[in-house]
Structure 1
Amino acid sequence: MSNQRFLFITGSARPDGNTDALARQAASHLPDTARQEWLNLDDLPLPPFRDMRHAADGVPDPVGNEKILFDATLAATDIVIASPLYWYSVSASVKLYVDYWAGWLYRKDLGFKSGMRGRTLWGVTVLAERDEAQADPLVGMLHKTADYMHMDFGGVLLGNGSRPGDVLRDERALRRAEQFFAAARHGLPRVSVQV
């Protein structure tokens, strides 16, 4: 029985957009034993991140939506960031979510950094450009985040589309989606690859 828990963090400015559709295509190929949790950052808005590590009172406890995201993140074995490509990187809501990781890191009692070690970070993005190198900054941001956190990096699934539903006509992306979580399906070691 699998104890894999996939947390899908979706951060699109458009509900039910192409990135969500591609992420769901990939998720449909996960084993039935892998648990899936989907959290849309629009449903869990966060206030602007404040760096409180040097404040007299320190970093406060996560509360409200932050607590929901913290608990789900720490409980996951695999975190999938599903963000459209915005200005060559992740969306503002995804960037804000990852900024909160910095606060969680400075609370040693939360055990965030040690808890994330060995987990796997994945990415899914859809871009309007045909030149997939345009997504290199997004891929780099996720890869470096995984490295810093001592996480495995599963890679980034890329698709093409602009208008709603476009990615479902991107046959190359749909073929990639079938195999994207292959290592997770078969219990194989994860490697850092961009697909």
Structure 2
Amino acid sequence: MTTTRSFLFLLGSSRTDGNTEELARLAAEQLPPETEQRWLSLNELTLPDFEDLRHEGDGSYRAPTGNAATLLDATLGATDLVLASPLYWYAMSTSTKRYLDHWSGWMRVPGVDFKERMAGRTLWGVTALATADPSVAEPATGTLRTIASYMRMEWGGMLLGLGNRPGDVLNDTAAAIRAKTFFG
């Protein structure tokens, strides 16, 4: 039995159609036509700063509402989660990190079983770098790889592209070649 894949692309850039998004869309073009794709902007679906309540009361959290509920439902509805975040100071964008921080609360919402339900899904990363040295992305890559391991998710990998000014990543021939087989 073949499982239908469903990709959730979470865009963590403050710039619409930036290099990271362009690279993610290039990779997504290679997916089979029947593969479901949902694209959400973390800049448009803003979340409040995460508040750690683990040591208050019974340590559980209330079911999320608003944008947090939308993101939780979309996350749980995907087999493949793609975090497309530009590299800012060797890490993911604030909106991407804030989204991931909310996972801590979602794991503690009674009845959601977030960690258990995320197990077996695949986590991917896409980022644009302003330098040709790919090692500068290792902190962000390591973070996502470790999150995947902790959540018992598969780690799909990190797609890197060189792009500083808008549209630059489209001139990165090596990244374009990698994008064609990234989700393979």
In the alignment, which residue of structure 2 is the partner of 1:20?
21
Query: For residues 121-144 of structure 1, what are the alpha-carbon distances to aligned partners after superposition, in whole Å with 9 as ceiling and x for unaligned?
Result: 000000001100000001000000
Identity %: 53
1:2/1:33 contact within 8 Å kept? no
**Match 2:96 to one of 80, 94, 97:** 94
Look up the match of 1:150.
152
* 74, 84, 108: which one aligns with 1:72: 74
**Helix, strand or coil for the counterpart of 2:158?**
strand
Give the letter aligned to residue 36 of structure 1.
Q
**Alpha-carbon contact 1:2-1:34 (below 8 Å) kept:** no
Q: Report what 2:7 is aligned to.
A: 6
The number of equivalent residue pairs is 182
Tell me the TM-score normalised to structure 2 length.
0.96
Which residue in the other structure is 1:38 paired with? 39
Name the CA distance, whole Å, in 1 between partners of 2:104 and 2:57. Answer: 17
SS in structure 2 at match of 1:53 = coil
SS at 2:157 equivalent: strand
Partner of 2:121: 119
Give the unaligned 5+ runs of structure 2: none
Deviant stretches of 4+, over 6 Å: none
Map of 1:84 onto structure 2: 86
1:29 match: secondary structure:
coil
Counterpart contact for 1:8–1:79, Cα < 8 Å: yes
- Report what 1:135 is aligned to: 137
| Matched residue SS, 2:111 | helix
How far off is 1:102 after superposition?
0.5
Compute the displacement of 1:54 (Å): 2.2
Shift of 1:60: 1.6
Letter in 2 for 1:121: L
What's the offset of the Cα at 1:53?
2.0
- Residue 2 of structure 1 and its aligned partner are, at CA, apart by 5.2
Q: Which residue of 2 aligns with 1:189?
A: none
Q: Distance in 2 between matches of 1:98 and 1:90?
A: 10
- Alpha-carbon distance between aligned partners in 1 of 2:14 and 2:143, rounded to the nearest angstrom: 20
Shift of 1:56: 2.1
2 CA distance for matches of 1:146 and 1:48?
A: 22
Alignment RMSD, CA only? 1.1
Q: CA deviation at 1:108?
A: 4.3
Alignment of structure 1 residues 159-170 onto 2, 5 Å: 159-170=161-172
